[in-house]
Amino acid sequence: MDALYERPKSLTNRATGYCPGCLHGVATRLIAELIDELDARADTVAVLPVGCGTLGMFHFNTDVVVSPHGRTPAVATGVKRSCPEKLVFSYQGDGDLAAIGLAEIMHAANRGENFTVIFINNGTYGMTGGQMAPTTLVGQKSTTTPEGRDPAGTGYPMTMCEILSQLRAPRYIARFSLDCPANIVQAKKGLRKSFELQRAGKGFTFVELLSNCPTNWGLSPLECLDWMRENSMKAFPLGVFRDRED
Amino acid sequence: MEKKFLKGNEAVAEAAILAGCRFFAGYPITPQNEIPEYMARRMPQVGGVFLQGESETASVCMIYGAAAMGKLAMTSSSGPGISLKAEGISTLAGAQLPAVIVNVMRGGPGLGTIQAAQSDYLHATKAMGHGGFRVLVLAPSTVQEAIDLTYKAFGLAVKYQNPAVVLMDGWIGSMMEPVTLPEAKEPVRNNYTGWGTRCFNPQGVGVVDVVSSCLLEPDRQELLNIHFGEMYETWARDEVMVEEYMLADAEYVIVAYGTAARAARTAIGSLREKGVKAGMLRPISLYPFPYDALKRLDRNRVRFLLDTEMTLPVQMKDDIRLGVADAVPVHSCGRSGGVVLTNEDIEDALLRIVEEEGK
């Protein structure tokens, strides 16, 4: 009998550390499947952020380097420049990438660093209990915007694909959603494309994955998915923002 | 053994390459700019990597990434930039990774001045970042020593899987002196021996590396903290470096490091001509600090010690007092903010104290 579905070798044999219904698990699995499919496990370095994504150090059965908060693209730069033969990805949340690490992501992108950034956007600081993120939607409640995010004092959600698309160097920039199987399949295609471009030495690739946070959104896993479709996916339109041919 | 005439900052950079360093990331700040500039020219010639980071914060994280991959890596900066590197240095220490950080000191605090000073002794020796860790701190007094100590710093960093710091002042960085270069070492890949893999992916030991300063579990973190404490004890036993200059009959002992020690040496010559029996104890390793050399001083003969630094208030005094257990008075003198400390400053200060004590 053939196994139709099994744990990728690029995942450790361990129960998930993520909350029930959290799409980090989906993202983590997609990446691990892809590493297996590319037969790259022995050559992959996952550079992890500070936040829920740090838990990847339990899950990725690859080389892992845990970065200081937001410096993930700088650490990945050090990893990739010193070992160009490795498949390197950074895995970052919205606080890590779009708040404290804004300088690092902008400059890694601007240098055209030859690694892949996987950006998990769920509009909140999950690990610390649901504070406002740079991607929190207007009106969305968080523990630090109890009345909802008011642009008058806290600005607007930062659209990182659009912002990074202002730069000339990046090779591939795209946003996907993990809300349903069809979109998950698309997300995997985008991740595959990024990894393949990196392996071909084509430069900086950026994949944003719209995600959820049942715990801090205060919604059930299913309600989260509806909320993503009605809100997140409208504020953060899906699509390919950059696919530059050489 | 190649002889050259080199500027301190360039000497440090060349010494790093000779020690096998093949990865440098830095950010412009005076008075250390010759280090990244030299590396930008030199690294490509030896197949290494030079990166100008978008900040000091990013630069130290770049060397963290390179160190995680087993490469010998270095970054350099000066006071304000070293503050920004605190996060990365703490992360290197916590993840048990070797790297060398060069601080070419200027006047402080804050942005301070760009002129040479010794304003970062406390920062370097007590807490280069959060979390209660130590780094090896080596303080050159000549350009030759800047080479030798940078070269040695890489060896120590690898030996202890811990960051090492070359703490020099802007004078050493910008002066030129004839030097002899050490032999070039072949760059080798340093194997990761930190605790991350066995904490997070025990099956991966020997197969994959999990490099992390985040151990998550309090009991594991405590064990690592205890391990660090034991390691620092071995440093105190094995890695202390100190120069004792004209101490055999000294009644007045100047304690000084770096450029301050050069001025002190001249002052001692002049004092000796006047019949004042002065000598010097020069810490070369600032951490571990040469407490034992101070303990060995003849307390019946030595009238007082003079902590001499290019920073005010002086910063080394508490360590000196610990060394002599307050059995000998410890006075201080110095200049600060980038004002030049002269041998006359030291001589005058010492003679004034002799006179006051004689009253």
Nearest to B128 by CA among B156, B99, B148, B150: B99
Distance between CA A50 and CA A67 in Å, rounded? Answer: 7
Please report whether residue A173 resides in a domain. yes
Asked if A57 and B201 come within 8 Å (Cβ–Cβ), the reply is: yes
Taking only residues 93 to 122 of chain A, the set having a beta carbon closer than 8 angstroms to any beta carbon of chain B reads: 103-104, 106-107
Asked if A78 and B22 come within 8 Å (Cβ–Cβ), the reply is: no
Please report whether residue A218 resides in a domain. yes
- Structure tokens, B318: 């508490």
- State the smallest CA–CA distance between residue A61 and chain B in angstroms: 7
Quote the crossing angle between the two packed helices A102-111 and A72-82, to the nearest 10°.
30
Confidence band of B357 (pLDDT split at 50, 70, 90): confident
Q: How many other C-beta atoms lie within 10 A of the C-beta of residue A85? A: 8
Q: CA angle, A212 as apex, A64 and A58 as ends, to 5°?
A: 25
Residue position matching structure tokens 């000598």: B279
CB of B214 within 8 Å of a chain A CB? The answer is yes
CATH number of the domain within which A178 lies = 3.40.50.970
Predicted-complex ipTM score: 0.97
- State the smallest CA–CA distance between residue A14 and chain B in angstroms: 10
- Structure tokens, A131: 């504070």
What is the sign of the dihedral through the CA atoms of B20, B22, B23 and B27? Answer: positive
The top-level CATH class assigned to B243-358 is: alpha beta
Confidence band of B97 (pLDDT split at 50, 70, 90): very high
Q: Global pTM? A: 0.97
Nearest to B21 by CA among B52, B65, B63: B63
Asked if A64 and B51 come within 8 Å (Cβ–Cβ), the reply is: no
Asked if B71 and A13 come within 8 Å (Cβ–Cβ), the reply is: no
Average pLDDT over residues B90-114: 97
Looking at the 3D structure of chain A, how many domains does it have?
1
Distance between CA A188 and CA A45 in Å, rounded? Answer: 18
Question: pLDDT tens across B251-274, in order?
Answer: 999 999 999 999 999 999 999 999
Q: What is the pLDDT of residue B221?
A: 96
Provide the H-helix boundaries in B208-334: 218-238, 258-273, 291-295, 317-324
Q: How many other C-beta atoms lie within 10 A of the C-beta of residue A9? A: 15
Query: Which residues of chain A are within 8 Å of residue B215 when distances are taken between CB atoms?
Result: none
Distance between CA B22 and CA B14 in Å, rounded? Answer: 11
For domain B3-238, the question of CATH label 3.40.50.970 is answered with: yes
The chain-wide mean pLDDT, for chain B, equals 97
Burial class of residue B177 (count of CB atoms within 10 Å of its CB; 0-12, 13-18, 19+) = middle
Q: What is the pLDDT of residue B7?
A: 98
For residue A149, give the DSSP letter: B
Distance between CA A89 and CA B46 in Å, rounded? Answer: 27
Q: What is the per-residue burial (b if ≥16 Cβ within 10 Å, else e) of A186-218?
A: bbbebbbbbbebbeeebbbbbbbbbbbbbbbbe
Instruction: Out of A58, A68, A78, name the one closest to residue B25 (CB).
Output: A78
Q: What is the pLDDT of residue A246?
A: 61
Question: pLDDT tens across B110-119, in order?
Answer: 999 999 999 9
Asked if B69 and A107 come within 8 Å (Cβ–Cβ), the reply is: no
- State the smallest CA–CA distance between residue A62 and chain B in angstroms: 6
Provide the H-helix boundaries in A96-208: 102-111, 151-154, 160-164, 181-199
Q: What is the pLDDT of residue A244?
A: 86
What is the sign of the dihedral through the CA atoms of A177, A180, A186 and A188? Answer: positive
Q: How many helices (H) and strands (E) does chain A have?
A: 11, 9
CB B230 within 8 A of CB B162: no
CB of B156 within 8 Å of a chain A CB? The answer is no
Question: What is the domain range of residue A79?
Answer: 24-243
Provide the H-helix boundaries in B43-100: 56-68, 79-94
Residue of higher predicted confidence among A244 and B151: B151
Distance between CA B297 and CA B321 in Å, rounded? Answer: 12
Average pLDDT over residues B321-331: 97
For residue B255, give the DSSP letter: E
Sheet of B252-255: strand order equals B242-245, B278-283, B252-255, B304-309, B330-334
Question: pLDDT tens across B286-300, in order?
Answer: 999 999 999 999 999
Instruction: Out of A54, A65, A106, name the one closest to residue B65 (CB).
Output: A65
Distance between CA B4 and CA A171 in Å, rounded? Answer: 45
Distance between CA B86 and CA B57 in Å, rounded? Answer: 8
Asked if B196 and A78 come within 8 Å (Cβ–Cβ), the reply is: no
Distance between CA A39 and CA A20 in Å, rounded? Answer: 30
Please report whether residue A8 resides in a domain. no
Asked if A71 and B61 come within 8 Å (Cβ–Cβ), the reply is: yes
- State the smallest CA–CA distance between residue B66 and chain A in angstroms: 5
Asked if A71 and B51 come within 8 Å (Cβ–Cβ), the reply is: no
The gap from C-alpha B198 to its chain's centroid, in whole angstroms, comes to 32
CB of B49 within 8 Å of a chain A CB? The answer is yes
Taking only residues 72 to 101 of chain B, the set having a beta carbon closer than 8 angstroms to any beta carbon of chain A reads: 73, 87-88, 91, 95
| Residues of chain A predicted below pLDDT 70 | 246
Asked if A103 and B203 come within 8 Å (Cβ–Cβ), the reply is: no
Please report whether residue A145 resides in a domain. yes
Distance between CA A153 and CA B359 in Å, rounded? Answer: 67
Strands A44-48 and A63-66, how do they pair? parallel
Checking if the pLDDT of B358 tops 90, the result is no
Instruction: Out of B54, B62, B212, name the one closest to residue A66 (CB).
Output: B212
Q: Where are the domains of chain B?
A: 3-238, 243-358
What is the sign of the dihedral through the CA atoms of B214, B215, B219 and B220? Answer: negative
- State the smallest CA–CA distance between residue A160 and chain B in angstroms: 19
Nearest to B71 by CA among B35, B13, B20: B20
Instruction: Out of A67, A68, A78, name the one closest to residue B66 (CB).
Output: A78
Asked if B65 and A75 come within 8 Å (Cβ–Cβ), the reply is: yes
Q: What is the pLDDT of residue B1?
A: 72
- Structure tokens, B156: 């120590």
Nearest CA in chain B to A69: B87
Distance between CA B191 and CA A85 in Å, rounded? Answer: 18
Cis-peptide into B218, omega within 30 deg: no
Strands B3-7 and B278-283, how do they pair? unpaired
Nearest CA in chain B to A47: B65
- Structure tokens, B113: 């001045």
CB of A68 within 8 Å of a chain B CB? The answer is yes
CB of A66 within 8 Å of a chain B CB? The answer is yes
Distance between CA B183 and CA B297 in Å, rounded? Answer: 37
CB of A74 within 8 Å of a chain B CB? The answer is yes
Please report whether residue A76 resides in a domain. yes
Average pLDDT over residues B14-39: 98
Nearest CA in chain B to A107: B54
